[in-house]
Amino acid sequence: MSEYGFEEIETRWQERWRKGRTFEVTEDPSRPKFYCLEMLPYPSGDIHVGHVRNYCITDVVARYKRMRGFNVLHPIGWDALGLPAENAAIQRGVHPEKWTRDNIASMKRQLQRLGFSYPWSREIATCDASYYHWNQWFFLRMLEKGIAYRAKAPVNWCPKCQTVLANEQAEGGACWRCHSNVEERELDQWFLRITAYQDELLDDMAGLSAWPDRVLLQQRNWIGRSPGAEVDFAVEGGGSIRVFTTRIDTIYGATFVVLAPEHPLVASLTAGAPDRTRAAVARLHAQDRRARQAGQVEKEGVFVDRYAKNPFSGERVPIWVGNFVLMGYGTGAIMAVPAHDQRDLEFARRYQLPVRVVIQPDGGELTGDTLKAAYEGPGRLVASGEFSGLDWEQAKERMAAHAKAQGFGKATVTYRLKDWLISRQRYWGTPIPVVYCDRCGVVGVQDRDLPVLLPKDAPFTGEGGNPLEKVAAFTHVPCPQCGGSARRETDTMDTFVDSSWYFYRYLSPRKTDGPFDSASVRYWFPIDLYVGGIEHAILHLVYSRFWTKVMRDLGLVTFDEPVRRLFPQGMVHRDGEVMSKSKGNTIAPDEVIARYGADTLRLYILFAAPPEMAMEWSETGIAGPHRFLQKVWRLLDRHAETLASEIRKPMPAELPEPAQQLRRRVHQTIQRVTEDVEDRLHLNTAVAALMELVKEIHRLEPEVTEGPGRGALQEALETLVLLLAPFTPHICEELWARLGRRPYVVDRVWPQADPEVAQEETIELGIQVNGKVRGHVRVAPTTGEEEILRLALEEPRVKEHLAGKEIVKSVVVAGRLVSLVAR
Ligand SMILES: [Zn+2]
Ligand SMILES: [Zn+2]
Residue 153 Cα, ligand 1 centroid: separation in angstroms? 20
DSSP codes of every residue in 474-506: HHEEE-TTT-SEEEE---EE-THHHHTTHHHHT
Q: Rounded to whole angstroms, how far apart are CA atoms 419 and 27?
A: 37
Q: What is the mean pLDDT of each run of 10 residues along the chain (823 residues)?
A: 91 96 96 97 91 96 97 98 91 95 96 97 98 98 98 89 80 84 90 97 97 96 94 95 96 96 93 92 85 81 95 96 88 95 94 95 89 94 96 95 96 92 94 97 97 95 89 96 96 96 98 96 98 91 98 98 97 85 81 96 96 91 96 94 79 86 96 94 96 96 88 94 97 93 83 89 85 86 84 88 88 86 89
- Note the ligand closest to the C-alpha atom of 169: 1
C-alpha gyration radius of the chain: 35
CB 460 within 8 A of CB 90: yes
Cα–ligand 2 centroid distance for 477 (angstroms): 10
- Residues 597-638: tens digit of each pLDDT: 999 999 999 999 999 999 999 888 999 999 999 999 999 999
**Whole-prediction pTM value?**
0.85
**Alpha helices per DSSP H over 205-309:** 213-223, 266-269, 275-286, 289-293
Whole-number Å distance, alpha carbon 180 to ligand 1 midpoint, is: 5
* d(CA 440, ligand 2 centre) in Å: 4
**Whole-angstrom Cα distance, residue 309 to residue 392?**
23
Q: Residue 479: nearest ligand to its CA?
A: 2
What would the pLDDT profile of 647-674 be if each residue is shown by its tens digit?
A: 777 788 788 889 999 999 999 999 999 9
What's the CA-to-centroid distance between 428 and ligand 1, angstroms?
A: 19
In contact, 794 and 801? CB cutoff 8 Å: no
Residue 152 and residue 188 in contact, taking contact as beta carbons nearer than 8 Å: yes
Closest listed ligand to the CA of 176: 1
Q: What distance in angstroms lies between residue 821's CA and the mean position of ligand 1's atoms?
A: 94
Cα 178 to ligand 1 centre (Å): 4
Q: How far is the CA of 486 from the centre of ligand 2 (A)?
A: 7
170 alpha carbon to ligand 2 midpoint, in Å?
Answer: 37
Distance 163 CA to ligand 1 centre (A): 7
Ligand nearest to the CA of 175: 1
**432 C-alpha to center of ligand 2: Å?**
17
Ligand at shortest distance from the CA of 484? 2
What is the distance of C-alpha 406 from the center of its chain? 47
* pLDDT at position 600: 98
Cis, peptide link before residue 43, omega less than 30° from 0: no
**Ligand 2 centre distance from Cα of residue 480 (Å):** 7
Closest to 338 measured CA to CA, from 379, 366, 311: 366
Between the CA of 535 and the centroid of ligand 2 the distance, in Å, is: 44
What would the DSSP string read from start to end of 380-410?
Answer: EE-S-GGGTT-BHHHHHHHHHHHHHHHTSEE
Compute the distance from residue 29 Cα to the ligand 1 centre, in Å.
57
